[in-house]
Structure 1
Amino acid sequence: MKDRWKSSTVLAGALPALVLGTFATSAAAQDAIRVISHRQPALEYYTEQMVDALPEGRVTIELMPIDKELELASITMSSESDAIDVVYLNDSAFKRFAANGWLEPLDDLWEKYKDEYDLDDFPQSVVDAVSYDGHIYSMPILTNTELFFYRKDVLDEAGIAPPSTMSEYMDAAAELDSPRMAGTIMSLKPVDAALNEAHWYMNAIGDGWFDEDWRPIFNNEAGVEAITMLKEMSEYAPRGFTSHANDESTINLQQGLAAMGLQWFTRAAAMDNPEQSRVVGKIHWVAPPGGGARVANDGFAISKFSSADKEEVFKMLAEAASRESMREGAKFAMPPRLSLLEDPDLAEEFRWYPAARDALESGKPFPAMPDFLDVGEIVTRHILRAVTGEAEVKAALDQAAAETEELLASRGYYDQ
């Protein structure tokens, strides 16, 4: 980043309604382009690139946990307010925002600037991932996948190979669990973190979430087996795992408080950060045992209700997503550009890249429905009831399936 340009970055922790009031007032006074985003290393980097793309004071950034960010964006855009110009959206949230008509179509600007910013370097699968109903709505910023993090020194000392199946994972977690170090991390904070963890189990052990007609199958025999194993695995997780998301699990790995577990690619570099990590060089990675962990293509979208110059905003996003920017950002996230995905130097420079490529091959995205996050609110609530022993696994999943069908029927998913 150019030294003379400084970002205006807020780390939000307050309730979204309170944040919105304060943020809208201050940003409006500056007449700035207002960007809100989830807080994680890759997105901190890319939002800084947006700040760099325009003169000092033109861009303000607000970073927060993803649940607060999506709640704030939903409140703002559902009221058709112009208090937000740019919003970070993961793949599942993107579909809901696009279906609600809250995002600005980018097709004309994409065509106008595709040569200047080499937008054809994005694979068609990535462009499809940021498109809805035939229109592009988001600038792809990162391809993310979940990896299996593990303490190589700890597993080597115990004579345990990195697990390749869920049963091997369970056995390793049980053997390594101790009062000093949990056998595995586990992120079950509702909704996003818990849904990510459950998604892995539902694919690696279960049959997935839905049949071809969007009828729930997560409560069938295989689904019950999957969540039963999740419950059993929780015995080897750190205390408080039901309130842990990515930040908490990252810290548990960095501080040597857990031996292994599922975590995002974007958290890999933090393991080797000597200012934060006590396990520099000790964490290694493989594709998640059993496959089926989440793969996501995320990006930044322009609010339909923004009063900013949308062409200027688009160019700001394109600068942040340029090949040069993404080459530098590759230490934080897998860049969704063909020229970089095929760069052998990246695999040599960043030791977690080979595992990430394997994980991309075996991973699965969330179901392609705009309402999946709403389904996730239902499902994770009942999964947590099962994991904590409040309800039997089968009964909890049956209740979740019934409520899911009721929701989807009310939204027109099924023929009457």
Structure 2
Amino acid sequence: MRHSRNWTLGATTAVLVAAFTAPTLAQDAIRIIGHRSPPNEYYTDAMQKALPEGRVNVELMPIDKELELASITMSSKSDAIDVLYLTDSSLRRFAANGWLEPLDELWEKYKDEYNLDDFPQSVIDAVSYDGHIYSMPVLTNTELFFYRKDLFDEAGMPAPKTMDDYENAAAHFDSGRMSGTIMSLKPVDAALNETHWYLNAVGDGWFDDEWRPIFNQEAGVAAINRMKEMSQYAPRGFTSHANDESTINLQQGLAAMGLQWFTRAAAMDDPEQSRVVGKIDWVAPPGGGARLANDGFAISAFSSGDKEEMFRMLAEATSVESMTKGAEFSMPPRLSVLQNEELAKKYRWYPAALAALEGGKAFPAIADFNDVGEIVTRHVLRAVTGEVEVQAALDQAAKETEDLLASRGYYNN
């Protein structure tokens, strides 16, 4: 069954559209919006280089703002956006709403020229919805466990393998000058990632086989209670921290460890930004179950530009040569690049990433998961900050989730 959500523009969202409107561009300019991150900076730069100077305009921003802008713009069927970065979960929602251009014909037409069969089927499946390809994959991303190996070695402690190990280490290293762990609970994306890890590592996940919530059952309550316990070792303001803030806390030696994306690993060894060069190491997240993602760039169904030209721009930017160079910033989804032994030697976080891939889990594969995430993270934050008891918060989240999914046709009764 295909589920969709139709968005309606009201007065408030119309104002937001006006506020987000880009400066006047050349008539044939391609407008790309994306999530501000090291790999997206690299790949959007490659897109700009694929076409003559001035043809491509790129705007990078925090992911929540990007998805808000994309949702508002595309729900109005505006052609103000041509190409947009989407996570695997947001892609399903956008495709279900009819906002994205299917790429199947262009994929088939150019698969030999751009060696598109080099993408494994699992990656193609991740950027597809309802049998159609909707996105050009740019990265396979996984969350790693970053930790101060120098401090662990001094204390005679091994890297954490279990959530008990993690909590004990956080308590040991927590001090007035350094937090025991980072914790990224800014709504929605960052909080959703952290919650996903706890619900898998300690709990039994999100749903049963019929998409009924199970996160408010005993194991889920234990998971969020563990998160609440761990929050005492997190930096101040952790409920407003996302990837950027947590990366800085690790780089500046303000936190000893924590969950963070593969794409942030290189920044730890950047001497221009980091005070902990050579001191951070990586392992698979304790307990397993941290998020896996296959993200990419899609073409708006409402773009008035040349969509074939946009597809070729994307294909050029994600060539084998480009992805080999981009491997510093993200795990490339091309088989030929993943199997490159020289890269594994060059980037010391690759072994941890491969281990994390084995134990990681993608978000539940439903088009409405982002909306579920908005509900659940809101109540998880209430629980972690002590506003309400954990069980009561998760019960309310489960009720609202079930009501939402029932209204979208997920249940037969």
TM-score band, normalised by shorter chain:
over 0.9
- Correspondence list, 1:297-316, <5 A: 297-316=294-313
Name the structure 1 match of 2:8: none
Q: In 2, distance between residues paired with 1:294 and 1:235?
A: 23
Of 154, 174, 184, which residue of structure 1 is paired with 2:171?
A: 174
Of 227, 231, 235, which residue of structure 2 is paired with 1:230?
A: 227
Name the structure 1 match of 2:347: 350
Are residues 1:64 and 2:61 paired? yes
- Correspondence list, 1:320-339, <5 A: 320-339=317-336
**Kept in 1: contact 2:142–2:357 (CA 8 A):** yes
**Kept in 2: contact 1:202–1:208 (CA 8 A):** yes
**Kept in 1: contact 2:20–2:69 (CA 8 A):** no
SS of the aligned residue for 2:282 comes to strand
- Correspondence list, 1:9-408, <5 A: 20-21=17-18, 24=21, 26-408=23-405
Q: 1:88 Cα shift?
A: 0.1
**Kept in 1: contact 2:26–2:55 (CA 8 A):** no
**Kept in 2: contact 1:190–1:381 (CA 8 A):** yes
SS of the aligned residue for 2:41 comes to helix
Superposed CA RMSD in Å reads 1.3
Q: 1:355 to 1:22 in 2, by over 3 A?
A: same
Q: In 2, distance between residues paired with 1:180 and 1:16?
A: 43
Q: 1:343 Cα shift?
A: 1.1
Give the alignment's TM-score, normalised by structure 1. Answer: 0.95
Residue type of the alignment partner of 1:353: Y
**Kept in 2: contact 1:16–1:71 (CA 8 A):** no
Name the structure 1 match of 2:3: none
Residue type of the alignment partner of 1:205: V
Q: In 1, distance between residues paired with 2:220 and 2:385?
A: 17
219-228 vs 338-347, greater mean Cα deviation = 338-347
Q: 1:93 Cα shift?
A: 0.4
SS of the aligned residue for 1:95 comes to helix
Runs of 5+ consecutive residues of structure 1 not aligned to the other structure:
1-14
Q: 1:31 to 1:396 in 2, by over 3 A?
A: same
SS of the aligned residue for 2:362 comes to coil
Deviations 1:294-346 (A, max 9, x none): 00000000000001100000000000110000000000000000001111111
Q: 1:31 Cα shift?
A: 3.1
Q: 1:16 Cα shift?
A: 8.9
Q: In 1, distance between residues paired with 2:284 and 2:406?
A: 36
Give the alignment's TM-score, normalised by structure 2. Answer: 0.96
**Kept in 2: contact 1:27–1:60 (CA 8 A):** no
Q: In 2, distance between residues paired with 1:301 and 1:311?
A: 12
SS of the aligned residue for 1:72 comes to helix
Deviations 1:196-231 (A, max 9, x none): 001000000100000000000000000000000000
Q: In 2, distance between residues paired with 1:169 and 1:54?
A: 48
**Kept in 2: contact 1:188–1:194 (CA 8 A):** yes
**How many corresponding residue pairs?**
402
Q: 1:20 Cα shift?
A: 4.7
Q: In 1, distance between residues paired with 2:182 and 2:22?
A: 40
Q: In 1, distance between residues paired with 2:287 and 2:254?
A: 24
Q: 1:415 to 1:206 in 2, by over 3 A?
A: same
**Kept in 1: contact 2:83–2:300 (CA 8 A):** yes
Q: 1:19 Cα shift?
A: 7.5
**Kept in 1: contact 2:144–2:356 (CA 8 A):** yes
**Kept in 2: contact 1:35–1:87 (CA 8 A):** yes
**Kept in 2: contact 1:17–1:72 (CA 8 A):** no
Q: In 2, distance between residues paired with 1:411 and 1:16?
A: 22
Runs of 5+ consecutive residues of structure 2 not aligned to the other structure:
1-11
Residue type of the alignment partner of 1:323: V
Q: 1:27 Cα shift?
A: 4.1
**Kept in 2: contact 1:91–1:130 (CA 8 A):** yes
Q: In 1, distance between residues paired with 2:84 and 2:173?
A: 41
Residue type of the alignment partner of 2:357: L
Q: 1:22 Cα shift?
A: 6.4
Q: In 2, distance between residues paired with 1:363 and 1:356?
A: 10
182-191 vs 337-346, greater mean Cα deviation = 337-346
Q: 1:122 Cα shift?
A: 0.1
Q: In 1, distance between residues paired with 2:15 and 2:26?
A: 17
